[in-house]
Amino acid sequence: MRAHATTSWRAAAAATIACLGLLAGCGGGNDGPASKHPELQGGSVEDELGFTRKGTNAAQARVENAIAACMKAEGFEYVPVDPVVAQTALAGKPINSDEDFEKQFGYGISTLHGRGSTDSDPNAKIRRRLDRGELRAYDDALSGGRLELTFARAVDEGRFDELGGCTKRATDELLGGTEQLATLQRKLDELDESIEGHPRMIRAGEAWATCMRAATGEAYESSGDIEDEIRKRFEAIVGSVPPLAAGQIAPEGSYDRAALTALQRREVQLASQDIACERRHIAPVEDALRADKEAVFRDENADLLRKVKPLGS
């Protein structure tokens, strides 16, 4: 587990979008405080490629429309899901920035539990009308039979090369190829690791840990430690929560609701303290390091960057 990963769109902002985009009870996959806040980093390679909240929403809307056209050609009905509408329905109000999300939901681990409804995804209704054989054919056409591998999750986890069916075809068509995106993912991970391992970033991470200890009285080495703690406590309260496919929500079940409410308050509070310490200790150092390293990255990967279509374009 990386202590202070610097991936913005691949492990953070998009994680928020995936959680809000019809996924309840999920948490970010990033390990470090700087990675959750691309707005702190200025104009990065990812910003230029459109991997921002606005750009990812725009791309997802276009991919949804392309999926619908592809599914129609395969003989199936598919209703495009507007990510902004879905996010607003789940959150109860428009979410315009990562800061808006964090103020209300913290890391989005315990705080999204029970939100949405079984009718959140119009395509769930379509699937319920199909018999077993029709459903298998529908799911194969949509995703190669792996419904959990949605476009939003591919952005979140960088698993573009695992997409299947109409989801893969739509992503290939609109973004320049899933193989290119997977290669870009790997190279950006390597860039992030070079920034993360720099002595100045290591010292900044230690300063972040000291800041969090002063604010909370707890010893955390990274925000990944905080998320792990919340996730374990969440599952101890409500039971194991497996990854959910689009349109599913975490089951209510029987659990200590007062304990969950207390955990949700703690999650939001810890996220706020995490962000404050990050702004003070992590972001300034990362900004300086990233500017130099990304200039070299652009030169070394110019051909690849030209092949990947910016989101929202």
pLDDT tens digits, one per residue of 17-45: 444 443 333 433 333 333 444 333 346 88
Residue 1 lies in a domain: no
Helix (H, G, I), strand (E, B) or coil at 107: coil
CA–centroid distance for 172 within its chain: 20
Query: Within 10 Å of residue 15's Cβ, how many Cβ atoms?
Result: 28
- pLDDT score of 42: 44
pTM over 0.75: no
Higher pLDDT, 83 or 196: 196
* pLDDT for the residue numbered 117: 58
Report the alpha-carbon distance of residue 138 to residue 144 in Å, rounded.
9
Q: What is the pLDDT of residue 31?
A: 38
- Quote the mean pLDDT of the chain: 80
4 domain residue, yes or no: no
- Give tens-digit pLDDT for 243-290: 444 444 445 557 788 999 999 999 999 999 999 999 999 999 999 999
Q: Give the pLDDT band (50/70/90) at residue 118.
A: low
Q: Is 254 exposed, middle or buried (0-12, 13-18, 19+ CB in 10 A)?
A: exposed
If pLDDT is split at 50, 70 and 90, which confidence band does 212 have? very high
pLDDT at 301 over 80: yes
- How far apart CA 62 and CA 234 sit, in angstroms, is 35
Question: Is residue 312 included in any domain, yes or no?
Answer: no
Q: How many Cβ atoms from other residues are within 10 Å of residue 94's Cβ?
A: 10
Q: How far apart are the first and last CA of the chain?
A: 34
265: left (phi > 0), else alpha (psi -120 to 50), else beta?
alpha
Cβ atoms of 227 and 27 closer than 8 Å: yes
The residue segments making up the domain with residue 211 are 9-307
Which amino acid type is present at position 60? Q
- Exposed, middle or buried by CB within 10 Å (0-12, 13-18, 19+), for 142? buried
Do 309 and 179 contact (CB within 8 A), yes or no?
no
64 within a domain of the structure (yes/no): yes
- Measured in whole angstroms, the distance separating CA 164 from the mean position of its chain's CA atoms is 19
- Is residue 19, in this structure, part of any structural domain at all? yes
Query: Percent of the chain, pLDDT > 90?
Result: 46
Return the higher-pLDDT residue of 136 and 247: 136
Tokens in use for 16? 């928020």
Rounded to an integer, what distance in angstroms lies between the CA atom of residue 299 and that of residue 291?
Answer: 13
Dihedral angle at the C-alpha atoms of 131, 134, 136, 141, nearest 10 degrees?
-150
Q: Looking at residue 185, what is its pLDDT?
A: 82
- Is the CB of residue 187 less than 8 Å from the CB of residue 304? yes
How many domains are contained in the chain? Answer: 1
Residues 265 and 111: beta-carbon distance below 8 Å = no
Residues listed for the chain: 313
Directed axis angle between helix 223-238 and helix 257-281, to 10°? Answer: 170
How does pLDDT run across 40-58, given as a tens digit for each residue? Answer: 334 688 777 777 777 888 8
d(CA 90, CA 152): 15
> What average pLDDT does the segment 124-150 reach?
93
In a domain, residue 3? The reply is no
Q: What is the DSSP letter of 176?
A: S
DSSP symbol at 198: S
Q: 68-107 pLDDT, tens per residue?
A: 999 999 999 999 988 888 878 777 777 777 788 888 899 9
Asked if residue 204 belongs to a domain, the reply is: yes
The closest alpha carbon to 155, from 279, 284, 11, 301, belongs to 11
Q: On the CB side of 241, how many CA atoms lie within 13 Å of its CA?
A: 28
Is residue 184 in a domain? yes
